[in-house]
Amino acid sequence: MTVLEAIATGNPPLRRSQQYASSFMERVESLPEGLRQRIPKIYARSGIDYRFSCVEDYGREAQDFEFFSPDWSLQPAPTTGARNRKYREAVVPLAERVAREALDQAGLAPEEITHVIGVSCTGFFAPGLDIELVKRLGLRADTQRAMIGFMGCYAAFNALRVAHGFCQSRPDARVLVVCAELCTLHFQVDDSIENAVVNALFSDGAAAAVLAARPPEEVGGRLVYEDNHALLDDDSMDHMSWDIGDKGFLMGLSPRVPAVIARNLPAYLDTLLCRNGLELEDVEFWAIHPGGRAIVEKAQEVLALPDEAVHDSLEVLRLHGNMSSPTILFILKRFLDRHCAELAEGGAGLGPGVAMAFGPGLTLEGCLLRPVSG
């Protein structure tokens, strides 16, 4: 069985309120006045209270800027090369920190890890993040590695699927998954509402998970990765995109995304649950990726879920913003910690749970987790 052993999460040091972020963007002189006037409402409606960034300039006055030009035009914008250099500088220590914490929580020594899976879509370099983790954590030189890139918000599910495959193929598998995204490196200053919304949502963060192959007699009470499902919508390729431009990576985000998700969600869940002998009412916890507050609220409406079922998803959004791929692990950590705490107190822990995310394609990805009675 593939056991979810531990999850650790982390963010860059710079933490600012959403109100502060709004006031920062209102000061950008290269934005049209009409758009600047709309920024407070866009930010206030986001459902976000705080966000994190690796870009120290977001906490400075213009004369002290180092990433941006030192004035409130923010022009000329940093090049893709400059953004990628900052990415490499900031992502490696953040990824290392959450990876070490996950290994400590799982009670595993570095030499016990057999596989490393790195996940990121906000920068590139080689030798890559996977190799940096092997070196910095002191993993064995024969540790098998995989990198999952440019898949966006649902990429953690692809990593979990690969980790599950490793666990099913090797009885000694101990897999470290690390998702690390520095989305705020790629904020764009232009005159579109679409970019204003993107700038209001995204944040920086990282999360690491440890999964292990365990025989059934060792699994009692623990959460196991049971199944997964992917669904590609037939007609929404242009609704969400992520391209490389000369001045950073460029996101396309259509306001029609929540409606497309809602249209596909019932059939998606029917397939995942039915083949595992479950119905909607059997699901005891929901981890829904908060691509935005509207996405979670639309999923809640379509599935007729009570407010408490989406509380953790909205709380992660409120406290951290949308961090792309690590976000779902932030939510799952809340449930994993709750499950372990209940078991430690002699309780039954959580029942079956579904985790889901949505991204370019437009794609729905998710998995089924369940406890094993011991």
| Separation of alpha carbons 185 and 56, rounded Å | 10
DSSP letters, 321-334, are -B-STTHHHHHHHH
Active-site residues: which are they? 153
Per-residue pLDDT, averaged over 328-334, amounts to: 98
Cis peptide bond prior to 362, omega within 30° of 0:
yes
Nearest CA-CA partner of 249 in 117, 82, 92, 361 = 82
Q: How far is CA 346 from the centre of its chain?
A: 32
pLDDT at 49 over 70: yes
User: Hey, how many other C-beta atoms are within 10 angstroms of the C-beta on 301?
Assistant: 11
The DSSP annotation for 169-217 comes to H-TT-EEEEEEEEEGGGG---SS-HHHHHHHHHB-EEEEEEEEEE--GG
Task: Give the CA distances from residue 21 to residues 10, 40, 191, in Å, rounded to whole numbers and listed in that order.
Answer: 20, 9, 17
What is the C-alpha to C-alpha distance for residues 173 and 163, in angstroms, rounded to an integer? Answer: 9
Q: Which of 64-73, 236-245, 301-310, 361-370 is least confident?
A: 236-245
pLDDT confidence of residue 256: 84
Q: Is residue 164 over pLDDT 80?
A: yes
Q: Select from 81, 137, 85, 359 the least CA-distant residue to 239.
A: 359
pLDDT of 17 above 90: yes
User: How deeply is 23 buried, as exposed, middle or buried, from its count of CB atoms within 10 A (0-12, 13-18, 19+)?
Assistant: middle
- pTM greater than 0.95 (yes/no): yes
Residues forming beta bridges with residue 115, ordered by sequence position:
144, 175
Confidence of residue 101 (pLDDT cuts 50, 70, 90): very high
Nearest to 117 by CA among 175, 157, 181: 175
The structure tokens listed for 352 are 């079956």
Query: Could you read off the pLDDT of 198-215 as tens digits, one per residue?
Result: 999 999 999 999 999 999
pLDDT tens digits along 137-154:
999 999 999 999 999 999
CA distance 304 to 300: 6
Strand order in the sheet with 353-359: 144-149, 115-120, 174-182, 204-213, 2-10, 223-232, 363-371, 353-359, 285-288
Contact 321, 290 (CB under 8 A): no
Three-state DSSP at 207 gives strand
Beta strands in the chain (DSSP E): 2-10, 14-17, 50-53, 115-120, 144-149, 174-182, 204-213, 223-232, 240-245, 248-253, 285-288, 353-359, 363-371
> What proportion of the chain, given as a percentage, has pLDDT over 90?
88
Whether 191 shows a pLDDT value over 90: the answer reads no
- Average pLDDT in the 251-277 region? 92
Which residues are within 8 A (CB) of 298 and not within 5 positions of it... i.e. 6 or more apart? Answer: 258, 259, 261, 262
Query: 220 pLDDT band (50/70/90 cuts)?
Result: confident
Q: Residue 79: pLDDT above 70?
A: yes
In the predicted structure, residue 62 carries a pLDDT above the cut 80 = yes
Which band of pLDDT confidence, cut at 50, 70 and 90, is reported for residue 255? confident
Residue 19 has a pLDDT of 98
φ/ψ of 54, rounded to 5, equals: -85, -5
Record the tokens describing residue 220, joined without a space: 């009692």
Q: Which amino acid is at 45?
A: R
Reported as a pLDDT band with limits 50, 70 and 90, residue 374 is low
| Domains of the chain with CATH codes | 223-371 (3.40.47.10)
